[in-house]
A and B are shown apart, each in its own frame.
Chain A
């Protein structure tokens, strides 16, 4: 199979879905001739024209809300929020409108829109361009939340998100855009939302992660194997819907769990996973469940402070080793 980047995989997904379905269109800041701040939509303006690849003014609330309206009217818009931090400006539209309409209008409304955005640190962009805010949205019934960590998942999950009849927050990661991997060129290859991926099978400890942390957990698992520790890595792929079955099966096998989240600790999605495990398979745990997260601080732009804040391969390795060796 051919190898392409995460960015190219996302672009392919957009291009294929726009080709298959004329109702799909794109909106966002600088997504046209500029190709998006991270280049994901580069070239799509030439292929599909300005009607379907729409540059917007800096009006997150306006164009996110407009995408909701367009979805209600039968289109399938995909909007890009340049940095996940800017999603604050559109939260009312996602939380009070998109998420609720299907339920509160007695199933009349359908809101098939995708909000693509990029979260995460590691590039020293500072406190308002580095956050991972997924937990806010997992807390809102009616929204799906997806966070792929590989090029293949980026493509397959984005296609599934566009075909889904619900609003989807699709969270990309700055550090993943350049990563390369094997990706199917078949337009029919779609990865369903709500199915986790066992990125690496193991028996001694389960590492649960998503997005960039999943990639780091995979590398930590390699390091652990050199110490004779067999780590299983579960890449959640989507947080909502959550594949709790895959988590439970793994806990029953390894009896030890380390959850790795990039966002700050308190109220993160890791806490929810932890609670679910405690509620369902507590008796299978041989050691207290552990969480790795960024401390409860705003992220700094300083390279040394940012490095000190974020979980990474070596911290995952250390935490998992302690968990297994006791």
Chain B
């Protein structure tokens, strides 16, 4: 349990560091921090088996860290360095580690939903026993890919779990302005599959729901749609001043913040005290500091390799 806690800490500190590096102009392009959504990433990944597939989103650093990705190579990728997971070619939204089954983020909202569905289809046809987990946001649930993919997966009883991170906002658009029903999970009924709503800021609750969904997927009973209600404490991306929501709302969600809540659980269960809390925080900070050092000291990709690897 302490590992999950540390993973959440690394994820949080990593995202805060990335935001700082962007605002300082050290790294360029764009990035989408998942600050506040740590319990979903860590909770979901904590129940997966080796070899299971994950597809992530534009907001995917945390998913990768939670799945066991090396923060040094993730940071290097954000820096565009050759030591990054994609040799600097993918950046924040396109990094993967196929050996971990982590198939990468995606620059297109909802773009990975059919792809995760296809990995589950392949697993079923090849009878590998693997399952797929597909992360996406509330915004992506309005894309055609969501409907088409869940319909296929429901029809074919594919071993996949669709994890909707409902953080209330698709960029600036509140879910109430985009979705006419209270729960995205209710859409599962259209596909003949279970839809479950869970408090996405409660790591243990996420785990419990995911365990059931994974058992169902592995047993051949088919997919589940899990809606994790959460909140993105940061802006959508760099430069977002969050003018579309109130500071009161942000303060309210801070009281539900996932790391603080999980720490309270650990303390209550006697799994954490002030001393090892401090130690875990120190470790997490050191991991992020080392990631930045590694990224800064890594070389840029050689421009001579620009045209390599368009085709396999």
Report which A residues bind B (CB closer than 8 A). Answer: 23, 25, 51-52, 56-57, 59, 61-75, 77, 92-93, 96-97, 100-112, 141-142, 144, 165-166
> Which residues of B are found within 8 Å of A144, using beta-carbon distances?
311
A62 touches B311 (CB 8 A): no
A105 touches B95 (CB 8 A): yes
Least CB distance, B304 to chain A, in whole angstroms: 15
CB of B60 within 8 Å of the partner chain: no
Cβ contact of B114, chosen from A68, A104, A109, cutoff 8 A: A68
17 contacts between A and B (CB under 8 A): A51-B125, A61-B114, A62-B152, A63-B114, A68-B114, A68-B115, A69-B119, A72-B118, A72-B119, A73-B53, A92-B108, A93-B114, A97-B111, A108-B98, A111-B312, A141-B310, A142-B310
Residue ID in chain B nearest A56 by CB atoms: B152
> Which residues of A are found within 8 Å of B86, using beta-carbon distances?
104-106, 108
B108 touches A65 (CB 8 A): no
A96 touches B148 (CB 8 A): no
Q: What is the bound-complex CA distance between A53 and B106, given in angstroms?
A: 29
Least CB distance, A208 to chain B, in whole angstroms: 23
Interface of B is mostly: mixed
> Which residues of A are found within 8 Å of B111, using beta-carbon distances?
65, 92-93, 96-97
Q: What is the bound-complex CA distance between A242 and B186, given in angstroms?
A: 50
Residue-wise interface mask of B (41-70) relative to A, using a CB-CB cutoff of 8 A (1 in contact, 0 not)? 000000000000101000000000000000
> Which residues of A are found within 8 Å of B112, using beta-carbon distances?
97
CB of B89 within 8 Å of the partner chain: yes
Cβ contact of A23, chosen from B103, B116, B126, B311, cutoff 8 A: B126
B98 touches A62 (CB 8 A): no
A-B complex: 8 closest residue pairs judged by Cβ atoms: A69-B118, A65-B114, A62-B148, A66-B118, A106-B87, A73-B122, A59-B148, A69-B115
A109 touches B96 (CB 8 A): yes
Query: Within B100-148, which residues are at the interface with A (CB < 8 Å)?
Result: 103-104, 106-108, 111-123, 125-126, 130, 132, 144-145, 147-148
Q: What is the bound-complex CA distance between A144 and B152, given in angstroms?
A: 27
B90 touches A75 (CB 8 A): no
Q: What is the bound-complex CA distance between A63 and B147, given in angstroms?
A: 12
A105 touches B96 (CB 8 A): yes
In the complex where A93-B111, A93-B114, A105-B90 touch, is A65 in contact with B123 (Cβ < 8 A)? Answer: no
> Which residues of A are found within 8 Å of B130, using beta-carbon distances?
73
Chain B interface residue count: which class?
35 or more
Q: What is the bound-complex CA distance between A93 and B118, given in angstroms?
A: 12
Q: What is the bound-complex CA distance between A59 and B88, given in angstroms?
A: 34
CB of B309 within 8 Å of the partner chain: yes
> Which residues of B are found within 8 Å of A107, using beta-carbon distances?
87, 309, 312
A75 touches B126 (CB 8 A): yes
Cβ contact of B309, chosen from A64, A73, A96, A102, cutoff 8 A: A102
> Which residues of A are found within 8 Å of B230, using beta-carbon distances?
none
> Which residues of A are found within 8 Å of B116, using beta-carbon distances?
69
A97 touches B108 (CB 8 A): yes
> Which residues of B are found within 8 Å of A66, using beta-carbon distances?
114-115, 117-118, 121, 149, 152
CB of B234 within 8 Å of the partner chain: no
A69 touches B114 (CB 8 A): yes
Q: What is the bound-complex CA distance between A166 and B114, given in angstroms?
A: 18
B115 touches A72 (CB 8 A): yes
A71 touches B118 (CB 8 A): yes
Residue ID in chain A nearest B155 by CB atoms: A57
Least CB distance, B291 to chain A, in whole angstroms: 18
Q: What is the bound-complex CA distance between A105 and B310, given in angstroms?
A: 11
Least CB distance, B146 to chain A, in whole angstroms: 9
Q: Known pairs A63-B152, A93-B111, A104-B94; list 14 more (Cβ under 8 Å).
A: A57-B148, A61-B148, A66-B117, A68-B118, A69-B55, A69-B120, A69-B121, A72-B118, A73-B118, A73-B130, A93-B115, A103-B310, A105-B85, A165-B311
> Which residues of B are found within 8 Å of A64, using beta-carbon distances?
114
Residue ID in chain B nearest A74 by CB atoms: B122
Q: What is the bound-complex CA distance between A64 and B119, given in angstroms?
A: 12
Least CB distance, A166 to chain B, in whole angstroms: 5
Cβ contact of A142, chosen from B122, B123, B311, cutoff 8 A: B311
CB of B151 within 8 Å of the partner chain: yes
In the complex where A73-B53, A96-B108, A102-B310 touch, is A109 in contact with B125 (Cβ < 8 A)? Answer: no
Residue ID in chain B nearest A51 by CB atoms: B125
Residue ID in chain A nearest B86 by CB atoms: A106
Least CB distance, A51 to chain B, in whole angstroms: 6
Residue ID in chain A nearest B113 by CB atoms: A65
Least CB distance, B225 to chain A, in whole angstroms: 15
In the complex where A69-B115, A69-B118 touch, is A59 in contact with B152 (Cβ < 8 A)? Answer: yes
Q: What is the bound-complex CA distance between A110 and B103, given in angstroms?
A: 11
